[in-house]
Structure 1
Amino acid sequence: MPILPHDSEAFSKKTVFIGGINVHIYNADSLQSHVENTTGDIPVDVLYLVHERLGNYKYTEAFAFKILEQFYKKGGKQLVCVTFDVRNHGERTVDESKNQDWRGGNASHASDLITVIDGIVADLKLLTTSVPFYLDLDRYISRANKELGTTIKYRHSFSGNSLGGHAVIRFANEYPNLVNVLNPVIGCPDLTTLLVNRLTKAPLDSVAYDKKYFYFEYDELPLNAEQRLVYPESLHRHIAAQDISIYENFNMNIKLFSSHGKDDKLVPTKLASSWLDIYKNTNGVTEAFIQEGVGHATTEEMIDNFTTWLVKHI
């Protein structure tokens, strides 16, 4: 996917080193006046952006600048964004071939995908804990306000694209109390069914996409002996357990805006539709934007619709 055009001079960029990762923070220079001029407890909204497979932080940096520009134009009050290279991508690349899928010749695609996702979840947990250290906003609270017990209240939001979309759903399932807003873009809550159908090359109009393969025992999956070698039973149990938890235990009090391309063939929208229907019936502010004529891509229209919603609900 191409990097979206953006104005890289519109907002500040600060790079800090956190736990071995270069982390990029945008619009941090707006926070001093926000803290100094807010009475009572001080909310600080931080949006973490996670890029796609085969991408790097430059892709989400473009989204960050776009989101910030639109957020403030639409009346938003305060927001900073955070990006970073996910594991085995960008400057963290160890073996680029492991980022390919089965069609790209990577036999261990499923294992490589889920371990990177699990790594992203761990990295996001680290960042939610550590980014406040590097922002160091407490020093801007006046002595009088400190004596009144004024504190900084971080509100963490998460947006992820494709691989990043899969990951932020899993992060929210693992750490629901840390998530204020969730924005999976062309992401999927059901990786079991996605991967099994990708491996078996099931047609998009096949009933296989309605199967919810996370409820299947390994021996019930429609895999031949060769396919089982690249989708082992222990992996199936691991991914299926996560998917079951997302479908049965997800905290749907989290505010959600989900975006999809109607013609997405890589991560078909139908795999998220039933989960989104449940979400919309549970949480009144939930929205799903499904763009006609778009495949597996993040578009400016998706960002525009998200920021309109975000200003209302952050």
Structure 2
Amino acid sequence: MTEPLSLHVGGIQTQVYGLQNLATSSHEGLAILFFLHGRFGSAADPRMAKWANSFVSHAAAEREKAGGKGKQLVVVTFDQRNHGERTINAEKNKGWRERDSEVEGLDNEAHAVDMLAIQTGTARDVSFLIDFLEPTLWPNGEQTVIDWWCSGISLGGHSTWLALAQEPRLTLGIPIIGSPSVLDLLSHRAANLPAPHGPLPITAPYFPSSLLRHIERTDPINVPRSVWKGRKILVLSGGADELVNYVHGATDRFVEVLKGEDGVGKDGVVDVWVQEGTGHKFSNEMVSRANTFLWEHGLRSAASATAGARM
């Protein structure tokens, strides 16, 4: 495994993987993939380095087999809001009730607000980094970023869906064990919170009316369908995932929308794999499918036809 470059970008500490593999120049350009960790995690998790290096090494190997053709890949990780080095209050990362909790009441009454706030903040951080990462890394224009992509696990999967919904410059996304509908996911979680702590109603204080109005405007499942045109999306989920279930989080329903007439369209791709017997994890098989998707639908192709239109 190669060590990443630790790079400060406008107040956000990032880890940048794959710089050592870059050719001096490439007429097909460069793609940057933001890779987002899960809840209670951080960019410093050794698994994040393992997975990021896997993406980079697989891309480099495929490009070598293709005689140097195809875009080059750089992977960027950073701590999500209130995680890792950006932690302000770790209690606010907890759910309504954690399994190992010893408190009498709820662990975090504001779970719904806190979860969506972190995801939304991370999506906005992705947009911020798209603005400033390239000029920070290559002030003399040594490399040209053709495509911006996003992937993430669990909390990072939710944030990936939000980033895709809000940032038009992202042309490819791989949400892993995440949900495109925070309302479906959390309302199911609230309704199934066991007694004596649940079930919880979909009303204040657990779901403030102002939060519900925000979700109605911004949840990926609710934004205009035109947002998804031309996108290339791989959805990875565990068939036995009880925390972010493929059905209970409404991913199954939204995938059908994306595949339909008003979905990604003829220039887009929607690929889905639900791994049977697998729980809430990013399995080795999922890693392999993510690597294949990145090459087949991102790196191997010519410079993104939608990138210029989305700027």
Normalized against structure 1, the TM-score is what? 0.79
Asked whether the equivalents of residues 231 and 269 of structure 2 are also in contact (C-alpha less than 8 Å), the reply is: no
Q: Does 1:303 align with 2:295?
A: no
* Cα distance in structure 2, aligned partners of 1:295 and 1:140: 43
> Which is further off, 114-123 or 22-31?
22-31
Q: Residue 121 of structure 1 corresponds to which residue in structure 2?
A: 123
Write out the 4+ residue segments of structure 1 that deviate beyond 6 Å after TM superposition: none
Letter in 2 for 1:168: T
Letter in 2 for 1:267: V
User: What does the per-residue CA deviation read over 1:104-150, in whole Å, with 9 as the maximum and x for residues that have no partner?
Assistant: 31111111101111110111111111110222164548xxxxxxxxx
Q: Residue 70 of structure 1 corresponds to which residue in structure 2?
A: 58
Q: Residue 149 of structure 1 corresponds to which residue in structure 2?
A: none
Asked whether the equivalents of residues 255 and 285 of structure 1 are also in contact (C-alpha less than 8 Å), the reply is: yes
Letter in 2 for 1:13: P
* Cα distance in structure 2, aligned partners of 1:239 and 1:139: 39
Segments of 5+ residues of structure 1 without an aligned counterpart are: 1-7, 142-151, 204-221
Which residue of 181, 205, 209 corresponds with 1:233?
209
Q: Does 1:160 align with 2:152?
A: yes
The number of aligned residues is: 270
Alignment CA distance shift 1:170-1:21 (3 Å)? same
> Which is further off, 52-61 or 241-250?
241-250
Where 2:205 maps in the other structure, the secondary structure is helix
* Cα distance in structure 2, aligned partners of 1:242 and 1:22: 27
RMSD: 2.3
Where 2:241 maps in the other structure, the secondary structure is coil
Counterpart mapping for 1:34-45 below 5 A: 34-35=24-25, 38-39=26-27, 42-45=28-31
Letter in 2 for 1:313: H
Asked whether the equivalents of residues 262 and 295 of structure 1 are also in contact (C-alpha less than 8 Å), the reply is: yes
Counterpart mapping for 1:166-177 below 5 A: 166-176=158-168
Asked whether the equivalents of residues 173 and 245 of structure 1 are also in contact (C-alpha less than 8 Å), the reply is: no
Asked whether the equivalents of residues 171 and 230 of structure 2 are also in contact (C-alpha less than 8 Å), the reply is: no
Where 1:260 maps in the other structure, the secondary structure is strand
Alpha-carbon shift at residue 180 of structure 1 (Å): 1.9
Asked whether the equivalents of residues 74 and 308 of structure 1 are also in contact (C-alpha less than 8 Å), the reply is: no
Segments of 5+ residues of structure 2 without an aligned counterpart are: 65-69, 99-106, 299-311
Where 1:228 maps in the other structure, the secondary structure is coil
* Cα distance in structure 2, aligned partners of 1:134 and 1:171: 21
Q: Residue 260 of structure 1 corresponds to which residue in structure 2?
A: 237
Which residue of 175, 182, 189 corresponds with 2:180?
189
Letter in 1 for 2:217: A
Alpha-carbon shift at residue 241 of structure 1 (Å): 2.0
Asked whether the equivalents of residues 170 and 246 of structure 1 are also in contact (C-alpha less than 8 Å), the reply is: no
